[in-house]
Amino acid sequence: MKIECIKNKLEEAISKTEKITGKNLTLPILKCILLIAKDNILTIRATNLDLGVEMSIPVKIKKEGVVAVPAGILYSFLTNLSNEKNVSLEVKENKLIVSTNHTETQIKTYPYEEFPTIPVVSDKKSININSNDLILGLKSVWYSASPSSMKPELSSIYIYYDSGKMVFVATDSFRLAEKKIFNRKIEEFDSVLIPHKNVSEIIRIFEATNGDIKINFSDNQISFSSNGTYLTSRIVDGTFPDYKQIIPKEHSSSATLLKQDTISAFKVSNIFSDKFNQVTVEINKKEKYFQITTKNPDVGENVYKIDSAITGESLEMSFNYKYINDCFQSITTDSVSFEMSKNKPMVIKGVGDPSFLYLVMSMNR
């Protein structure tokens, strides 16, 4: 193999694929990326067996070929090349020769025949969605999934179709986030569970993508493709909890606050929270304020009152600060509402935005 290409394009493609490579001691080939030079296109592949990605960039090919090379080594070398516009890659005697106008290096290669195949998902079941909508849906909920793999369905993002809406849901059983993307052009599809750790990579790789992303579904794989980038992920075989049963249909108290005031108040309160991140939230009907109280025997205590629009009765409950604070990244409106009822989850919404819903379970006091 012998090619010439623009250094920045190669570096950008490898930066996205390099993070997918596996750290498997028994399969050292997984730390490699596969470079395939054919028809003036360089295809770069990486996989950790749970997730696979393929990217293509235009290059000038002097000799077609295939090579497997450690991703980390190649990426580190490219990122430290300054003031270089073009780079040449050539395979000689089981080594990849990478050269520019000012430097040349040799990187040991691996047998490319050992590189695993990346699954190709059939397009018999497929939909198209705007890239911004997909990323918004995933980013709005993925932080609520469980980091533990003990219950795979809880460490996944649940995506399903509901009357012209693509719905994204995640829960770790302590809190739940739901985001609805309204698009009448979305065709009906079967619900899927995507592993939480794979979702972060999907966001990272496609976040800067413009235009539509094509999603293909099969029984055990899902793929995303757009503008020369193809990614496939394993689907979790499980049943997501019937979460709608726990969403309160009514509430006894509610408070409406400015979002930025609320974020600032919780940040101050967290300084004095205990090792369980406990904050006590009070809706005071008589005085028309929303109060946050934190106590830590080793630090001190704090009481923070925010002027609010209050409806219903006065109520006091305790929650985990982190779970409340996480949801503000998904609320785009200037005001936020807190709906509370005794012995029920607290519901947090952006005022005037029906697309996002967030539930937080109270803490036992």
- What are 61-71's pLDDT values in tens digits? 999 999 999 99
Which residues touch 73 (CB under 8 Å, ≥6 apart)? Answer: 107
Per-residue pLDDT reduced to its tens digit, 199-251? 999 999 999 999 999 999 999 999 999 999 999 999 999 999 999 999 999 99
- In the chain, the percentage of residues whose pLDDT exceeds 90 is 92
Is the confidence at residue 25, as pLDDT, over 80?
Answer: no
pLDDT attached to residue 24: 75
pTM: 0.93
- Is the confidence at residue 100, as pLDDT, over 90? yes
pLDDT confidence of residue 148: 84
Instruction: Report the pLDDT value the prediction gives residue 294, as an integer from 0 to 100.
Output: 96
Point out which residues pair with 306 in neighbouring strands: 290
pLDDT for 364 beyond 70: no
The yes-or-no verdict on residue 82 having pLDDT over 90 is no
The Cα 216–Cα 222 span in angstroms is 6
Instruction: Kindly state the DSSP code that residue 81 receives in the 8-state scheme.
Output: -
How confident is the model at residue 149, as a pLDDT?
78
User: Can you name the residues that pair with 109 across neighbouring β-strands?
Assistant: none
From CA 299, how far away is CA 277, in angstroms rounded?
Answer: 13
Question: Any idea what DSSP says for residue 80?
Answer: T
Least confident of 150-154, 346-350, 355-359: 150-154
| Residue indicated by tokens 């497997």 | 68
DSSP one-letter string for 7-20? HHHHHHHHHHHHTT
Q: Residue 11 — left, alpha, or beta (φ > 0 → left; ψ -120 to 50 → alpha)? A: alpha
DSSP bridge partners of 204: none
Pairing relation of β-strands 229-234 and 221-226?
antiparallel
Taking a C-beta distance cutoff of 8 angstroms, is the pair 345, 248 a contact? Answer: yes
Q: What is the pLDDT of residue 63?
A: 96
For the cut 90, the answer to whether the pLDDT of residue 349 exceeds it is: yes
Strand partners, 312: 253
Strand partners, 34: 45, 68
* pLDDT grade for 183, boundaries at 50, 70 and 90: confident
Return the C-alpha torsion angle 151, 156, 157, 161, nearest 10. -70
Mean pLDDT estimate for the chain: 94
CATH of 2-114, one of 3.10.150.10, 1.10.1040.10, 1.10.10.10, 3.20.20.100: 3.10.150.10
**Residues of each domain in the chain carrying CATH 3.10.150.10:** 2-114, 126-242, 247-360
What would the pLDDT profile of 248-297 be if each residue is shown by its tens digit? 999 999 999 999 999 999 999 999 999 999 999 999 999 999 999 999 99
- pLDDT the model gives residue 336: 98
Predicted confidence at residue 187, as pLDDT, reads 87
Q: pLDDT value at position 128?
A: 94
Kind plus residue range of the DSSP H or E element containing 35: strand 32-38
Report the pLDDT value the prediction gives residue 23, as an integer from 0 to 100. Answer: 77
How far are the Cα atoms of 150, 173, 294, 303 from residue 275, in angstroms, in the given order?
A: 24, 20, 11, 18
Q: What are the b/e assignments for 142-154, b being 16+ CB within 10 Å?
A: bbbbbeeeeeebb
Rg of the chain taking only CA atoms, in angstroms: 25
Looking at the domain covering 247-360, what would its CATH class be? alpha beta
Tokens representing 22 are 């596996």
State the pLDDT confidence band at 83, using cuts at 50, 70 and 90: confident
CATH architecture observed for domain 126-242: Roll (3.10)
